[in-house]
Amino acid sequence: MSYLLGIDLGTSGLKTILTNSDGQIIGSAYCAYQFDAPRSGYAEQDPEVWWDACKTTVAAVLKESRIPANEIKGLSFSGQMHGLVAFDADGNVVRPAILHCDTRSGAEVRAIRESFSEAEICNLFMNPIFTGFLAVSLLWIKNHEPDNYRKIRKVCLPKDYLRYKLTGVIVSDFSDASATLAFDIRGRRWSEAILTRLELPPEIFPDCFETIAPVATVSSSAAAETGLSVNTVVVAGGGDQVMQSIGNGLISDGDGSVNIGSSGQVSFQIGKPFLNPALNTNMFCAYDHDRWIMFGATMSAGLSMKWWTRVIQENDYAALNQAVAAVKPGSGGLLFFPYLNGERTPHVNPNISGMLLGLNNETTRGAIARAVMEGVAFSLKDCLDLCSRAGFLPSRLIASGGGARSPQWLQILTDILGLPLQVSVSEEQAGLGAAIAAATGTGVFRNIRDACAAFVRYQDITYHPKAENQPLYAELHGLYKRGFERIAPTLEELTLIGRRQA
């Protein structure tokens, strides 16, 4: 029997799972943390927080499972995407990592858009230019922290930092690298055309591997810190959206998922690069050389519910779900717009803010909680509609992320999206995807399809749209879109006022 570790580096916490080669999870541990927001629009973190969480959870899993470290054949990663980690010549971090939800770099976004024609942006980037992406954050450091910029000798993405700490090697994978706005997605290499125009040195960008490629083994120093064996193979891994798809068994053309993590996505597996001239969806490399993933992304999905629970100081999610279940669809005439960190799909605007419309004297905490769930679902409906107009509309979606643990949120999602939803048996789809990559990369399975067949199972229940809720939700989604169009300029002005006062 072989054993595999999957390490899932999220925005608000890190989880490590240990599986056997039959796909059974025999140990798991979670370490929560908060990112830092020293100013309005900033989102950053000391990468050592991730390493401490990694060490803590690995040690806990080894202790819980009682599996000898030398029996763990391989490990791999799923990681929050887009963020920037910068190293100096000695391999030390130059400054705190800038995360995907950071919105400080609006001027750099505008500068990139002015430096490239619309046709060039479509053909070179193949994605909208947005704050929080590695290349944009790197330009911000260049413009605002020149002393730090001069120190930089290598950059990577968040989960790549953990691989560095475990192996001493700074590398990345194609899926995460393709989500930096510095990458040639068709050619699967760093883009000479982009880096030259932006005057970014190509030598600071790391070598890249396929998601299932073995990269190195655990170093002796990391083994001493974690309790792992120096014989354990470290496999490249990938960005969280790609790894969640693997963990849900979604590896074939047209397979679709809806995810409610800190951010949210509606995504589809595709067999060739898709160019969206509107540039309001994302398209990145997936787990292999002939795989890509297309998706629409909303910035604040689970983050919206976390915001609301923080406001009302409620940590009992079971009680919150019960309160939501007691509220009728439509939340008593409330509409929530989940733009707490700006929005990517469909608005591609980091300078808008969230809002709650329709408050009245009868509004309850449960009604607002339901409105938050519905608002996130409306945002994901916007994502789905864009993808479907591009020709991607499956007969079902697999739901994942923390939101998939709420039956109430799942029913709201299926009612608003209008598609049946299934849920994996495992609640740790991203970590499971990392374990699957480790199993494939170490030769436990011949290919990722065989590994998914062994690891992925679905719950017996399927959530179906309720016909009686369709007209109301269609009406509310129309109000949601029209309401935003009317108030968007005000939201932008309020965001700028808030940043001035921060």
Quote the longest CA-to-CA distance of the chain: 64
Q: Is 22 a catalytic residue?
A: no
Cβ-count burial of 361 within 10 angstroms (0-12 exposed, 13-18 middle, 19+ buried)?
exposed
For residue 28, give the nearest of 444, 428, 362, 456 by alpha carbon.
428
Please say whether the beta carbons of 205 and 179 come within 8 A: no
- Helix residue ranges per DSSP H, 116-180: 118-120, 134-144, 146-151, 158-167, 174-177
Residue 89: half-sphere exposure toward Cβ, Cα within 13 Å? 2
In sequence order, which ranges of 168-263 are alpha helices (DSSP H)? Answer: 174-177, 192-198, 220-226, 240-247
- Is residue 311 a contact partner of residue 411, using CB atoms and an 8 Å limit? no
Token pair 């330009």 in the structure block, residue: 139
- Considering 8, 240, 255, 382, which one is annotated as catalytic? 240
How many angstroms separate the CA atoms of 230 and 111, rounded? Answer: 46
Give yes or no for a contact between 30 and 64, defined as CB atoms under 8 angstroms apart: no
CA dihedral 227, 239, 205, 82 (to 10 degrees): -120
Alpha helices in 347-390 (DSSP H): 365-389
Give yes or no for a cis peptide into 346 (omega within 30° of 0): yes
Rounded Cα distance between 375 and 186, Å, is 35
Q: How far is CA 124 from CA 142, 194, 274, in A?
A: 22, 7, 13
Rounded-to-integer distance, Cα 327 and Cα 324, Å: 5
Return all residues near 464 (Cβ < 8 A) that are at least 6 apart.
Answer: 414, 420
CB atoms within 10 A of CB 177: 29
Structure tokens at 147: 């002393």
Render 2-42 in DSSP notation, one character per residue. -EEEEEEE-SSEEEEEEEETTS-EEEEEEEE---B-SSTT-
Distance separating alpha carbons of residues 145 and 140, to the nearest angstrom: 8
* Distance of alpha carbon 24 from alpha carbon 227, whole angstroms: 22
- Count other Cβ atoms within 10 Å, centred on residue 183: 29
**Active-site residue list:** 240
